[in-house]
Structure 1
Amino acid sequence: MTMNPNQAQDVWKDAGEHVQFTVLELKREDQAKEQAAIEEFVDRYQAIVRSLRIRDNRGNLKASLGFSNAAWDYLFPDAPKPKELETYKTISGDKYAMPATEGDIFLHIRANDEAAVYELMAQCMLFLKDYTTVVDETKGFRYFEGRAIIGFIDGTEAPQVEDAAEYAIVGDEDPFFENGSYAFAQKWRHHMDIWNKLTTEDQEKAVGRKKSSDLELKDAEKFKNAHNVASQSQDQRG
């Protein structure tokens, strides 16, 4: 068996016009009942998605479902576990921290029509509401030209569609979970009042690119902690 992007969850394709990220926490009141409920939900989940794609055949509905390390141990104690599934721990720097937060089940839903996003989440909650608590629900939308809310094009250096599967999908290094994936759910808060008071030139230095054209600035023109400097991640192949 080899990695097949067509059999993987929609974790590496387009962002969608409307999106919702939902994080749920298991109530952990009755393990046996919760295990049975989640197993039923997982069994029905793909059929729910397929049904909504038929009902809204132009909606480009995409959905991804994931479980935390703690949830996996609680729900599937006797099942194999993905090799790289682990509990995220807070990362702290000199000035800032990326805190660990609670959560057991992660749903990422996107579509061209917000009604499809709402309906899929509503149908999922028919199975989950009695056994989980919503700890975070974040909605998003496609901003002008697909830009980030700060006005810049986002993801220029991210792997493109033809290459993304290699980075996003589990291959034969973990055969039992081949075509699976891992999710890192992060939320970044932007202080827009402060950002909008900056000149365009300073915004460009902070991002490392021209705001209109998206052309990269020369290193000498950027702030030392510019976004496209601080966010670089490279392996042996560059």
Structure 2
Amino acid sequence: MVGVTLEALSVRLGRRRVLENVSATLEAGKLAGIIGPNGAGKSTLVRAMLGLTPIAAGSVRIDAQDIAALPSRDLARRIAYLPQGQTLHWPLSVERLVALGRLPHLAPLSRMSAEDQAIISEAMARADVTHLAGRVATELSGGERARVLLARALAVGASGLVADEPLASLDPGHQIDVMTLLRREADAGGLIVAVLHDLTMAARYCDRLLLIDGGRLVADGPPAEVLTSDLLRSVYGIRALVDTADGATMVVPIERLKGQDPHAHQG
């Protein structure tokens, strides 16, 4: 099983500081949520974690190996990546789209093996999209597309999965479907990292939350310890109701606090 260690990680984009001195250890068998306001550095963090954004200082290690020393194909085999806002342009069948997840394992011009096909079928079953196999991917609904793209990531066969805003544009029912799938993958022993904006979904499904603000890690721990009224006020500039129902934490934003928008003067 895969594990990721971030040590004093910093990222600059031009002259702008995007991440500063972020340290954390992410373990297999856990669902870790990365939360924070818009522009906090959440997507930059996961991209740096995957070697897709240059690091200004610090390090990222996967199973004690620095990612700078890992070939990109090797890294892609260890941690699958589901970027945010993917648009499907080509009218591929769902089965062919999911099969693209096997690319990190294939040599140029090589063909799928029986093992590859079995892994693709298993990924589609885990994401509950087997019945969509023959459908044209560009004709899917938003909820169907979300599950199909997750199936493609699962088809990589990696021990870890990073999903950047997997709930974007989904209705509540499909959000539950996606989070249930991610929770199940973590329970099966995978390392699952998800960038999330819905704080109640993050609280309900995640083992741990990393709260990012202004490029810094300001809180890291179980949801009940991170989603406090004081932190929500200081980071999001809101007053929120934080309560529990059926044993799960709920976060209901009540109002933006006047004069307490912490990001009002950021460029």
When the two structures are superposed, what TM-score results if normalisation uses the length of structure 1?
0.27
| Structure with the greater alpha carbon radius of gyration | 1
TM-score w.r.t. length of structure 2:
0.25
Q: Which has the higher contact order (CA 8 A, sep 6+)?
A: 1
Larger strand share, 1 or 2: 2
